Structure 1
């Protein structure tokens, strides 16, 4: 098999999905304990690209851009899954928007959730091939829902795929909003706002320049042109207030908002490695009122 035959190089396959998975995998290999988030399957899902993608982190793990990528990936994942796994939420449908190489459904022993993974068809095809090559079975609780966020009706496709619209849903939307237009973000939130009362969402977003610190601006200046060169330009930067407004307009009540520093317990920032919190992005957790 040549490099061109590898699933991660198929047209329209998200290269960002591979880089995010590499950052989660590298956290366990490069950084010191206490680990912020343990994605024990991420390296296997990188397939034949694991050595290539992880080598950057192994060789240059203290570089602020690579350390920033790891911090970004593990903080948002921990924040999201901590809220998802609350025992008293009563939610058993988990919707992962822009799922990429997310491994929740394959590494958790919990069978509480029916998981709906939404992404571009090419990215999903690559992921399913990587799962098969890694010997990771697709649980019957997982449904793949191919959707183009900019062009297709999300709610309709989800209901057609078996999501129950009269029961609450927990949606995660990580590493996606920055690639969409503001109109597309608002449209997706409006569709999610049509789900059952008690439904929840966690979404992240990149901050505008005036809200970023030096580390955040350095990350954007270094990584933004690279993502654009791969055909995945960052289109939207939102302040917490702007995202809260979009959520409110879609019918959600904001439960909490957090920057990187506030997104995980303070003790986890007492580190001996290169991970440091940056004012680069923020997270919002919101709920449809009951």
Structure 2
């Protein structure tokens, strides 16, 4: 039975988006994830199958974009950006840690062609959900995939990972996608502090919401998103200022390599598809190393 838990519910939306994107012709996809549909609960799989109809797919994307302009493309493009950085031939890390994994399929896609260990870190309820999903969709949890329950607000990250077989001396690719806004600023910094001792050669990719959106001083046309995540309930708690990200990372021993925002996603991923969509300025993606 799917847990009716707010934290667990946030895992469904991005994977439903990835699954619907997979119904696009290959040349028009913003992200390519053939496992996403199978990881979703039945009610979402029914929606995804319905969007095999081009007309209905366009209607769904348009409806999402009306409520949060550019968020559909931003989420799809950030997923593609991370997939590309992870598969870059110059990336010589030999362990992956996904912080706030939700229903992410990367670990299982990696397991198809590699026994590289992947540690999926999430709240207990999401780890239990993921174990059940993998049992249903794949028959078992792949041997290289390790589910690690952690509460980012309270639990020690690295020691808990080590209890599940992680080795801190191995260069690691850390993925922290769609998570930081749900944490308090103190928890964001505490997590960065726990990553301070990552092995040389490690990489970190994470996403964040702009601080001016969190503060309500610039809503970037996404008023309904602000009402949902900031006014009705304080679901989104943290934001960052793009010009201050390098300094923040340096405090914890990381070096900013690049930040990807709407113009990068437009030029690199959206224009080649010929689709009339735009990425939001609300969310940014960061790549760093040490």
Q: Which of the five TM-score ranges fits, normalised by the shorter chain?
A: 0.7 to 0.9
Q: Which runs of 5+ in 2 are unaligned?
A: none
TM-score normalized by structure 2?
0.85
Q: How many Å separate the matches in 1 of 2:230 and 2:269?
A: 36
2:71–2:280 CA contact under 8 A, matched in 1: no
1:209 paired to 2:222: no
Q: Aligned to 2:119, what secondary structure does the other structure show?
A: strand
Q: Secondary structure at the match of 2:131?
A: helix
Q: When the two structures are aligned, how many residues end up with a matched partner?
A: 280
Q: Check whether the contact 1:205–1:237 (CA below 8 A) recurs between aligned residues.
A: yes
What residue is the counterpart of 1:7 in the other structure? 2
Partner Cα distance (1:13, 1:183) in 2? 19
Distance 1:210 1:176, change over 3 A: closer
Change (3 A) 1:230 1:162: farther
Alpha-carbon displacement from aligned partner over 1:213-244 (angstroms, at most 9, x marks no partner): xx96233x222433469967011121122332
- 1:144 paired with 2:139, answer no
Q: Using a 3 Å threshold, how does the CA distance of structure 1 residues 230 and 122 change in structure 2: closer, same or farther?
A: farther
> Any gaps of 5 or more consecutive residues in structure 1?
1-5
**Whole-Å Cα distance in 2 between the matches of residues 238 and 29 of structure 1?**
34
RMSD between aligned residues: 2.9
1:3 aligned residue? none
Contact 1:259 1:281 in 2 (8 A): yes
TM-score (norm 1): 0.85
**Pick from 154, 163, 166: which aligns with 2:166?**
163
* Alpha-carbon distance, 1:98 to partner: 0.3
1:45 aligns with 2:39: yes
SS at match of 1:278: coil
User: Would the aligned equivalents of 1:150 and 1:180 in 2 still touch at CA under 8 Å?
Assistant: yes
Of residues 183-192 and 273-282 in structure 1, the stretch that sits farther from structure 2 once superposed is 273-282
**1:53 to 1:184, Cα distance in 2 relative to 1, 3 A:** farther
Question: Match of 1:256, SS?
Answer: strand
2:202 equivalent among 195, 199, 203: 199
